[in-house]
Amino acid sequence: MITDSHAHLTWRSYGEDLGAVLARARAAGVERVIVPGTDVASSRAALALGAAAPAVFPAAGIHPHDAAGADAGARAEIEALCRQPECVAVGESGLDYAKEYSPRRAQLECFCWQLDLARRLDKPIIVHCRDAHADTARIVTEFAGIRGVMHCYAFGPAELAPYLEAGFLISFAGAVTYPGNEENREAARAVPADRLLVETDSPFLAPQAHRGRRNEPAYAAEILARIAEVRGEDPVALARFTSANATRLFALPEVGN
């Protein structure tokens, strides 16, 4: 049993075949999918999808790309969505200095607001970090005691310490399969088993065998197999470990319940 801990199934590229996508995921052994929101509209859609598809568990948040437009009304709605019991996490939140679609100041302020929201609601936070390790690590450290996951971890082993020390889980996506990404594989080898998650970040970052095409949750099995190979572990055992970690972090029901 595999849990895809991050997939944007509300993305427009799934508009015509989402049922088939979920069926392929089940056939590949992917039995649960966490679907984060990135703004008010996608967060609403994630909760609606979760209500319609038992294997889908929604989160609500504001992506750093959308931080500049997150006014008081948007934040109030995100908070209301996060307060719903079916919402398993706050996010996708975080910092992105690679493209800076929102100014850094707006990103930092919105990230801190969502960390505070996660603390007030006692829910985990899903953190995006691209080219912003120093600020992300500093802020996560300042909000000690919050549960969360570094989604789509893109760095090597040298950057792991502040996130692991903060108690965060580390999730690896399709980039861990890319031939030139040995540092990321070293990080996947270094993360303790009880802190490890796998994800697809669908529809983005398809693993090497599907690179350049739309990603989907079924491919989490291939990502997990590559991580198991790197760690010298049995893929079935690693699937159980990572799914147990997802159950614990997101307070998910066990499969079949």
Other beta carbons within 10 angstroms of residue 54's beta carbon come to: 11
Helices (H), ranges, the chain:
18-27, 40-52, 72-83, 104-121, 133-142, 161-165, 182-190, 220-231, 235-250
Q: Which phi and psi angles does 74 have, rounded to 5°?
A: -65, -40
Q: Which phi and psi angles does 4 have, rounded to 5°?
A: -80, 110
Q: What three-state secondary structure class fits 152?
A: coil
Measured at the alpha carbon of residue 180, what is the angle toward residues 200 and 172, in degrees to the nearest 5? 25
| pLDDT value, residue 257 | 45
Q: Return d(Cα 96, Cα 128) in angstroms, integer.
A: 7
C-alpha pair distances (Å), 255 with each of 2, 3, 252: 10, 10, 9
Q: Which phi and psi angles does 57 have, rounded to 5°?
A: -125, 120
Stated length of the chain: 257
| pLDDT value, residue 233 | 97
Do the beta carbons of residue 12 and residue 207 sit within 8 Å? no
C-alpha pair distances (Å), 176 with each of 27, 152, 153, 161, 200: 23, 9, 9, 19, 11
Amino acid at 165: E
Q: Sign (positive/negative) of CA torsion 248, 140, 58, 74?
A: positive
| pLDDT value, residue 99 | 87
Q: In the chain, what's the furthest Cα-to-Cα distance?
A: 49
| pLDDT value, residue 40 | 98
Q: Return d(Cα 135, Cα 183) in angstroms, integer.
A: 21
Tens place of pLDDT for every residue, the chain, 257 residues? 999 999 999 999 998 999 999 999 999 999 999 999 999 999 999 999 999 999 999 999 999 999 999 999 999 999 999 999 999 999 999 999 998 899 999 999 999 999 999 999 999 999 999 999 999 999 999 998 999 999 999 999 999 999 999 999 999 999 999 999 999 999 999 999 999 999 999 999 999 999 999 999 999 999 999 999 999 999 999 999 999 999 999 999 876 54
